[in-house]
């Protein structure tokens, strides 16, 4: 069977379509709060919302949930739009919860008129003290039974800015004995003299999430409003507002949020890492943000693939980072051009090769895509190989370079080691080899069989590049569940910078390009690169080394 089984949300949607609910129409929304950059958890939500709509012939709105002016900013709005598009999705409409402030205000007055909302003059502490516990009912505030007229007047004056911040709130009048604490007269509006990035100073009262979200869904006629599990207890309130306002019956469904090992996924925590300089920015390649992953060399395909593989769960879980790495490795193996780079050079002098000669060798760009052809690698008298590819006293079955032994230099010649040159302390300085003239790759007539193949570069033609190697950002699997401050668990060695000697074909690489450095892994050109110096980020190694 090729068909994947449906996830539980797809089952709900298919049932709804079968029953002709909303005329079979599917409209989802992705509702980020513009208070930070998107992370891989958001990607999960994006793939789910946009993916569902795509699968069932519907659409998705991008809605900025911007009801909390103090933490929000247009910088975040722009980055979110960029990231959603980069992931490969497009929205039907771009909406803002703040576009509905007038409508929400009207909704609130309707509830007041119906006797279902009241202005409470109590302090936050007084209200909390009367709230009760899950097993004990709450007690009514002394302001609970105000007349409709008084409530309307006070609410209007709240809006006009007549009252101090924190002095009054508007509350829904529901059920102080409900076992669901969210139904014990929840707040609808609070006073906040804050400048909003879109509405400016028009408002000094702002709706709470619960009074904005469901109504925004209803205004847009969202059919399936998908959110994460922590909103399960909010669902009764979501339904209560919709029912009592008699507006479009959007429905909320909940799935498990994505958590990844060795990182954190809360914007508040990510913001701390940025503000306190633990990383260089939201797009630091160690960050789990979309912009960080992009800079690290992740492709949209690999992220979508990852989201697809982990599926849609009903229970919270912690996904292994190595699965995300597997997905990018799989994608880059298909798409990334191969190049040779030596990071720990040992000089090889080919004593029977002329001093000034530069001989081009053809090397395939990508065996997975033969149509991409070859590039030229210059072979010269002085070469670099990796230190670890040479041993003076090798054990048995060592197939790399050693005195008297032969290896093939990838796409070039077979060489044989004849002499080891050492400094006064006995350290190997260079090795002298001879090349076998009729052994060139593609036209080998030497008849020799060698077991080892090494990557290499020409010492005189190679270009030095900066390579940034990344390790886990945190030392522990789940920093958020550890005792104390999550930042105490940062890995102090999450970044190491080394120099590499790259074959000259890399000179024309552009920021964003990805390559496989043979025998090393996948590397992406960083935007910090200049005309004088290329900078590469190691996206991921060739295989999973995390188990060690
Ligand atoms: P954070 O805790 O990072 O601040 P949030 O839920 O407050 O996350 P929003 O901007 O409100 O961030 O999220 C937009 C949408 O993305 C919401 O529908 C939210 O449920 C979803 N989302 C956020 N984080 C995750 C996650 N880790 N896994 C799946 N979905 C997520
Ligand atoms: Mg949120
Ligand atoms: Mg949040």
Q: What is the pLDDT of residues 132-145, one digit of tens each?
A: 999 999 999 999 99
Which ligand is in closest contact with the Cα of 317?
Answer: 1
**Active-site residue, 1 included:** no
- pLDDT on residue 544: 72
d(CA 149, CA 168): 16
CA dihedral of 442, 448, 452, 456, whole degrees rounded to 10: -50
178 and 120, same domain (yes or no): yes
List the domain range (segments joined by +) for residue 498. 267-337+465-541
Q: What integer is the mean pLDDT of 258-277?
A: 97
d(CA 230, CA 212): 17
Q: 10 Å Cβ neighbour count for 505?
A: 20
Does the C-beta of 265 come closer than 6 Å to ligand 1? yes
* Residue 547 confidence class, pLDDT cut points 50, 70, 90: very low
d(CA 417, CA 419): 6
* Bind-site residues for ATP: 33-35, 39-45, 228, 257-258, 265-267
- Decide: 86 and 38 in contact? Cβ < 8 Å: no
Percent of the chain predicted with pLDDT > 70: 99
Residue 226: closest CA among 519, 9, 6? 9
- pLDDT on residue 545: 60
- pLDDT on residue 378: 98
23 and 166, same domain (yes or no): yes
Which ligand is in closest contact with the Cα of 253?
Answer: 1
Residue 409: closest CA among 385, 393, 390? 385
The helix/strand/coil state of 266 is coil
d(CA 208, CA 446): 78
- pLDDT on residue 96: 97
Q: What is the pLDDT of residues 339-391, one digit of tens each?
A: 999 999 999 999 999 999 999 999 999 999 999 999 999 999 999 999 999 99
- pLDDT on residue 548: 38
The helix/strand/coil state of 546 is coil
- Decide: 323 and 310 in contact? Cβ < 8 Å: yes
- pLDDT on residue 543: 85
Buried b (16+ CB within 10 A) or exposed e, 252-288: bbbbbbbbbbbbbbebebbeebbeeeebbebbbbbbb
Does the C-beta of 257 come closer than 6 Å to ligand 1? yes
SS percent in the chain: helix, strand, coil, step 5: 30, 25, 40
Which ligand is in closest contact with the Cα of 30?
Answer: 1
Residues across the chain: 548
168, 251, 267, 538: which is the annotated catalytic residue? 267
Does the C-beta of 466 come closer than 6 Å to ligand 1? no
Q: Which of 34, 45, 290 to mutate to test the pocket of ligand 1 (most atoms within 8 A of CB)?
A: 45
User: What was the ipTM of the complex prediction?
Assistant: 0.96
Q: What integer is the mean pLDDT of 303-314?
A: 95
237 and 305, same domain (yes or no): no
Q: What is the pLDDT of residues 501-541, one digit of tens each?
A: 999 999 999 999 999 999 999 999 999 999 999 999 999 99
Atom from ligand 1 closest to the CA of residue 44: 29
- Decide: 410 and 518 in contact? Cβ < 8 Å: yes
106 and 246, same domain (yes or no): yes
Which protein residue has the closest C-alpha to ligand 1 atom 13?
32
384 and 298, same domain (yes or no): no
Does the C-beta of 227 come closer than 6 Å to ligand 1? yes
- Pick the last residue of a domain from 255, 278, 299: 255
Find the CATH number of the domain harbouring 274: 1.10.1160.10
* Residue 58 confidence class, pLDDT cut points 50, 70, 90: very high
* Residue 1 confidence class, pLDDT cut points 50, 70, 90: very low
Please give the distance, rounded to the nearest whole angstrom, from the Cα atom of residue 452 to the centre of ligand 2: 55
Find the CATH number of the domain harbouring 395: 2.40.240.10
Q: What is the pLDDT of residues 458-506, one digit of tens each?
A: 999 999 999 999 999 999 999 999 999 999 999 999 999 999 999 999 9
- Pick the last residue of a domain from 223, 255, 287: 255
**Active-site residue, 396 included:** no
Kindly report the average pLDDT of the chain as a whole number: 96
Q: What is the DSSP letter of 336?
A: P
* Bind-site residues for L-glutamine: 65, 209
Q: Which tokens is 135 given?
A: 């097993």
379 phi, psi to nearest 5 deg: -100, 130
d(CA 41, CA 307): 9
Q: What is the pLDDT of residues 93-133, one digit of tens each?
A: 999 999 999 999 999 999 999 999 999 999 999 999 999 99
What pTM was estimated for this model as a whole? 0.94
Domain-embedded: residue 99: yes
Q: 10 Å Cβ neighbour count for 160?
A: 10
- pLDDT on residue 93: 98
Which protein residue has the closest C-alpha to ligand 1 atom 9?
32
**Active-site residue, 257 included:** yes
21, 54, 192, 257: which is the annotated catalytic residue? 257
53 and 170, same domain (yes or no): yes
Q: What integer is the mean pLDDT of 403-428?
A: 96
Which protein residue has the closest C-alpha to ligand 1 atom 14?
32
Concatenated DSSP letters for 116-184? Answer: -EEEE-S-HHHHHHTS-BTTB-----TTTT--HHHHHHHHHHHHHT-S-TTS-EEEE---TT-SSGGGS
307 and 275, same domain (yes or no): yes
Atom from ligand 1 closest to the CA of residue 257: 28
421 and 527, same domain (yes or no): no
Q: What integer is the mean pLDDT of 13-18?
A: 97
pLDDT at position 2 over 60 = no
- Decide: 525 and 536 in contact? Cβ < 8 Å: yes
Domain-embedded: residue 81: yes
- Pick the last residue of a domain from 196, 229, 255: 255
Find the CATH number of the domain harbouring 204: 3.40.50.620
- Decide: 334 and 368 in contact? Cβ < 8 Å: yes
* Residue 317 confidence class, pLDDT cut points 50, 70, 90: confident
Q: What is the pLDDT of residues 196-235, one digit of tens each?
A: 999 999 999 999 999 999 999 999 999 999 999 999 999 9
Q: Which of 32, 36, 42 to mutate to test the pocket of ligand 1 (most atoms within 8 A of CB)?
A: 42
The helix/strand/coil state of 95 is strand
Q: What integer is the mean pLDDT of 431-459?
A: 97
322 and 426, same domain (yes or no): no
How many independent structural domains does the chain possess?
Answer: 3
Does the C-beta of 34 come closer than 6 Å to ligand 1? no
């Amino acid at each position: 069977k090729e068909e994947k089984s449906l996830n539980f949300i797809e089952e709900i949607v298919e049932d709804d379509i079968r029953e002709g609910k909303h005329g079979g129409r599917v409209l989802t929304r992705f509702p980020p709060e513009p208070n930070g950059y998107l992370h891989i958890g958001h990607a999960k939500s994006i793939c789910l919302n946009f993916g569902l709509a795509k699968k069932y012939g519907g659409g998705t709105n991008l809605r900025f949930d911007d009801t909390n002016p103090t933490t929000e900013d247009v910088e975040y709005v722009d980055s979110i739009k960029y990231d959603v598009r980069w992931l490969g999705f497009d929205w039907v409409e771009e909406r803002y919860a703040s576009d509905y402030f007038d409508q929400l205000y009207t909704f609130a007055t309707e509830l007041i008129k119906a006797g279902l909302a009241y202005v409470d003059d109590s302090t936050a502490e007084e209200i909390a003290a009367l709230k009760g516990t899950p097993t004990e009912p709450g007690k009514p505030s002394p302001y609970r039974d105000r007349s409709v007229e008084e409530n309307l007047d006070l609410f209007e004056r709240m809006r006009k800015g007549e009252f101090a911040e924190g002095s009054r709130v508007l509350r829904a009048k529901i059920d102080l004995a409900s076992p669901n604490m969210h139904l014990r007269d929840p707040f609808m509006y609070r006073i906040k003299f804050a400048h909003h990035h879109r509405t400016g100073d028009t408002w000094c009262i702002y709706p709470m999430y619960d009074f904005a979200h469901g109504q925004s869904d209803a205004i847009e006629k969202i059919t399936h409003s998908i959110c994460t599990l922590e909103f399960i207890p909010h669902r009764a309130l979501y339904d209560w507002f919709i029912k009592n306002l008699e507006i479009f019956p959007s429905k909320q469904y909940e799935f498990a949020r994505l958590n990844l090992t060795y990182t954190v996924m809360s914007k508040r925590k990510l913001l701390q890492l940025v503000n306190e300089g633990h990383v260089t920015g939201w797009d630091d390649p160690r960050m789990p943000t979309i912009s960080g992953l992009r800079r690290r060399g992740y492709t949209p395909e690999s992220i979508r693939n990852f989201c697809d593989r982990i599926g849609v769960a009903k229970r919270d879980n912690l996904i292994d980072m190595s699965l995300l790495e597997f997905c990018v490795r799989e994608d880059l193996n298909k798409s990334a051009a191969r190049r040779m780079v030596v990071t720990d050079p040992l000089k090889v002098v080919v004593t029977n090769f002329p001093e000034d000669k530069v001989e081009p060798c053809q090397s395939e760009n990508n065996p997975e895509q033969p149509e991409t052809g070859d590039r030229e690698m210059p072979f010269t008298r002085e070469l670099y190989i990796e230190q670890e590819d040479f041993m003076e006293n090798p054990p048995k079955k060592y197939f790399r370079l050693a005195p008297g032994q032969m290896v093939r230099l990838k796409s070039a010649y077979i060489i044989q080691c004849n002499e080891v040159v050492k400094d006064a302390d006995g350290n190997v300085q260079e090795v002298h080899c001879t090349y076998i003239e009729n052994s060139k790759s593609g036209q080998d007539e030497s008849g020799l069989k060698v077991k080892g193949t090494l990557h290499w570069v020409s010492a005189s033609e190679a270009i030095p590049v900066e390579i940034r190697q990344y390790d886990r950002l945190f030392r522990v699997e789940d920093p958020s569940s550890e005792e104390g401050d999550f930042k105490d668990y940062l890995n102090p060695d999450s970044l190491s910078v080394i120099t590499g000697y790259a074959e000259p074909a890399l000179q024309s690489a552009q920021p964003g390009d990805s390559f496989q450095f043979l025998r090393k892994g996948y590397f992406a050109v960083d935007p910090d690169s200049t005309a004088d110096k290329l900078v590469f980020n190691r996206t991921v190694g060739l295989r999973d080394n995390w188990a060690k």
